[in-house]
Structure 1
């Protein structure tokens, strides 16, 4: 049986008295864009470093492109593209110099795709790295991760410093990479970034996985949002009596609430309150993410 590009089973990494990760299990299939979510310090980067052999796990099993990254030759890492969360590049070199150096290290002779990436992202290649802004350095890092068309693309906070148009182009590149058969593990604390491109998402909290499912299934568990405005004073009391409703904000003439389940019972009560306007937002992972982090952790799994 062929091993998936990324496999972690009960992966634990301890740093003495400092918390690392505990019992992390992940499976990322070929051609999948897998989102790995959590706030800074939750354990995302530690997990990634174990997957790439940069950290030796305290316990558990890990396979990257079918191999144990902690043993044997690291030649298979030529098939991995990695953008670290804290990108460090040779400050005195230009972008063109960096691309040429990394290309030689990987034995990559085809520069056509690299040049296409440079053009699409608007990378400045003729200035020393030290003179570039955070966003322009990040674009150099994205090109370095993608330019050799890796089988596995590992991205840690990839859009940091990018403007919205560049973020859109990056999302397109990720989708194209997966459509061509590549696999993407995208780690971020930015929910919008992940849910735009990922088909499956795992959420890590304090070193433990608290959710792992398709974006569709996770969104189904997340509540919808409704914003109501009135031309008269109103009491939100009747809404709080319905199961599945949480009133987030309530003023004399404005109510914001979330709800799970069918909309009909909610709308029946809302209609009696006679709102002047109603705005509904579909379920979003952001609300589910907050709920998972507000709830007490459950050892080894989901809340």
Structure 2
């Protein structure tokens, strides 16, 4: 796999406050890396460093094999970026701003631009001062998605968008991924990351605390079970792999370690299984484990 972004031991201090302590991750071509953490965890500081806006105090960060600080101008020719808070020129129309962004980037697709304007239901003739937060976000998304880039960096990209527009964004990210583009998606909307990301990196207080594919990480969390049996399933009380067990007559709910399925099934079949539901852990379960 071609590494597009390589971050190793990245550190950033603001006075005595250490915003990034030891951040390391990669983003490969043709994949979406979900970069997750609550507000203040260090996501935007990492992205500002990658964009060459601020300079790191330690570690290294490279995009396309080039240093993000010394080669920022060259790197920017092949990236597209959408921030979570978009500020626009109030006297320009939405269409004028999109065209300006595409002209600045140098690799814009007018046909794709017009297609996205229709998809996102944007009125490009209105002045930017009249736009809601959601419409300002659409401007940035349309400009970025109409650009021919190799790396797309999205920092809370769907902030202010309604669910229908979020779905269109997710569809477009899938298209970019299929075209072999690298995507860094920073968000605290876990359902969005779960739908799009191939791998996730969880940042907590300036440090990466977990990284890997969603399937890899789900092995570290517990499955949720709901069962109904012919008899009271008292045998579950003796299993060390069963957690948070609640028995209500012949019904029971519990969490269990994902590698202990055989043990659980052999126990509950003794009581005559009438109903069995098993739900894999969500990204939110994984996320909350690091923040509780």
For normalisation by structure 2, the TM-score amounts to 0.88
Aligned residue in 1 for 2:170: 171
Q: Distance in 2 between matches of 1:238 and 1:42?
A: 43
Q: Distance in 1 between matches of 2:263 and 2:223?
A: 14
Q: Structure 1 segments of 4 or more deviating over 6 A?
A: 229-232, 272-276
Q: Helix, strand or coil for the counterpart of 1:288?
A: helix
Q: Helix, strand or coil for the counterpart of 2:77?
A: helix
Q: Do the aligned partners of 2:108 and 2:147 also contact (CA within 8 Å) in 1?
A: no
Aligned residue in 1 for 2:200: 201
Q: Do the aligned partners of 1:3 and 1:66 also contact (CA within 8 Å) in 2?
A: no
Aligned residue in 1 for 2:282: 284
Instruction: Provide the aligned length of Structure 1 versus Structure 2.
Output: 290
Q: Distance in 2 between matches of 1:110 and 1:223?
A: 46
Aligned residue in 2 for 1:299: none
TM-superposed CA distance for 1:163, in Å, is: 2.2
Q: Do the aligned partners of 1:247 and 1:255 also contact (CA within 8 Å) in 2?
A: no
Bigger proportion of residues as strand: 2
Q: Distance in 2 between matches of 1:33 and 1:73?
A: 22
For normalisation by structure 1, the TM-score amounts to 0.85
Q: Do the aligned partners of 1:3 and 1:65 also contact (CA within 8 Å) in 2?
A: no
- Range that drifts further, 145-154 or 275-284: 275-284
Query: Alpha-carbon deviations, 1:186-238, whole Å to 9, x = none?
Result: 01112211121111111111110011111221123222112357999x7x975
Please, which of 255, 259, 266 is the counterpart of residue 258 of structure 1?
255
Please, which of 219, 231, 244 is the counterpart of residue 247 of structure 1?
244
Q: Distance in 2 between matches of 1:87 and 1:231?
A: 58
Summarize the alignment of residues 101-250 of structure 1 with structure 2, pairs less than 5 Å apart.
101-108=100-107, 110-228=109-227, 239-247=236-244, 250=246
Q: Helix, strand or coil for the counterpart of 2:285?
A: helix
Cα 1:72–1:200 shift into 2, 3 Å:
closer
Q: Distance in 2 between matches of 1:58 and 1:81?
A: 25
Q: Do the aligned partners of 1:81 and 1:150 also contact (CA within 8 Å) in 2?
A: yes
Cα 1:220–1:73 shift into 2, 3 Å:
closer
TM-superposed CA distance for 1:52, in Å, is: 0.9
